[in-house]
Amino acid sequence: MEENIKKDNIRKEENIVYKKTKLMTDKVLSYCPGCGHGTIHRIIMEVVDEMGIQSETLGIAPVGCAVLAYEFMDIDMQEAAHGRAPAMATAMKRLMPEKYVFSYQGDGDLAAIGTAETIHACNRGENITMIFVNNGIYGMTGGQMAPTTLPGMKSSTSPYGRDIVTMGNPLKITELIAQLPGTYFVTRQAVHTPANVRKTKKAIRKAFENQKLKKGLSFVEVVSNCNSGWKMAPVQSNEWMVENMFPFYPLGDIKIEGELVK
């Protein structure tokens, strides 16, 4: 009996149901256990691998928790200044139109300091893929209020809850950029369940394939948890996300093939 539970007896080809994503490096992820970033990284790399475009893909890492994304993705990448990734992606795609270019940003990066770059890249209809991870908080700097922090939600800079009178309303930037004629595909997804992971992966694949069509910008928002910043256990944070984030940021496609979804 003891012989059978040795690692070598278990690690057999017929027992393998899941493998490490080929284009993820061996570097240990710097994310908190329970965070969605690792899953999102993985499915982007799965898409790049499955499309066979590793040598044609250029990525941009943000400022925020995913600042070290280039440590984990086995592709050529550039690290952006805070908020500037869409401007960078614009130049990369214009200068190398045959490449697949994607930016990866959080809510503070994309919807606060980089709002101008986000709106104008979308409005120009740059032929790129923008990945937007929205967890309603500044994770890396220690849980401060983000542009997407929900009304009443507590953070280290809204310790009594977000007061919309003095702190403004959360910004639904995804709905906003969907209004612009330059965006071709706009969707909001999540990665808290296997079914949602599959949907998000499908959306990201479509967002990459759209670059071949040269019809505009593809924008994938992923509503994700920040268990550390929200000060919750991982499972509890996902439950809180479903109950509180999803009603405000409803999942699903917002714009398909340049047309708003009714």
Partner 1 sequence: MKELRLMKGNEAISEAAIRAGCDGYFGYPITPQSEILEYLMLEKPEERTGMIVLQAESELASINMVYAGAACGKRVMTSSSSPGISLMQEGISYMAGAELPGLVVNVVRGGPGLGTIQPSQSDYFQATKGGGHGDYHIITLAPSSVQEMADFVKLAFDLAFKYRNPALILSDGAIGQMMEKVEFDEHRPRFTDEEIRKNTPWATTGKTPDRERNIITSLDLDPARQEIHNIKLQAKYRKIEQDEVRFEKIACDDAEYVFVAYGTSARICQKAIQLAREKGIKVGLFRPITLYPFPKKEINELSKKVKGMLSVEMSAGQMVEDVLLAAERNIKIEHFGKMGGIIPSPAEVVEALEQKIIGG
* Residues at the interface with partner 1 (CB under 8 A): 54-58, 60-61, 67-68, 70, 74-81, 84, 87-92, 94-96, 99, 116-117, 119-120
Least CB distance to partner 1 at residue 237 (A): 26
Comparison of 76 and 257: residue with beta carbon closer to partner 1: 76
Cα first-last separation, the chain: 60
Helix-helix angle 115-124:85-95, to 10 degrees: 30
CB 40 within 8 A of CB 131: yes
CA dist 190 and 197 (Å) reads 7
Least CB distance to partner 1 at residue 77 (A): 6
Comparison of 36 and 62: residue with beta carbon closer to partner 1: 62
Ramachandran quadrant class, 234 (left: phi over 0; alpha: psi -120 to 50; beta: rest): alpha
Comparison of 27 and 198: residue with beta carbon closer to partner 1: 27
Comparison of 61 and 145: residue with beta carbon closer to partner 1: 61
Least CB distance to partner 1 at residue 162 (A): 27
Q: What is the full DSSP assignment across 148-160?
A: TPPTT--BTTBTT
Least CB distance to partner 1 at residue 31 (A): 15
For residue 106, give the 3-state DSSP assignment.
strand
CA dist 212 and 210 (Å) reads 5
Sign of CA dihedral 110, 113, 117, 119: positive
Least CB distance to partner 1 at residue 76 (A): 4
Comparison of 83 and 143: residue with beta carbon closer to partner 1: 83
Comparison of 57 and 211: residue with beta carbon closer to partner 1: 57
Residue from 95, 52, 89, 81 nearest 218 by CA: 89
Least CB distance to partner 1 at residue 105 (A): 13
Least CB distance to partner 1 at residue 74 (A): 6
Residues 6+ apart with CB under 8 A from 33: 234
Comparison of 72 and 184: residue with beta carbon closer to partner 1: 72
Backbone angles phi, psi at 218, to 5 degrees: -110, 135
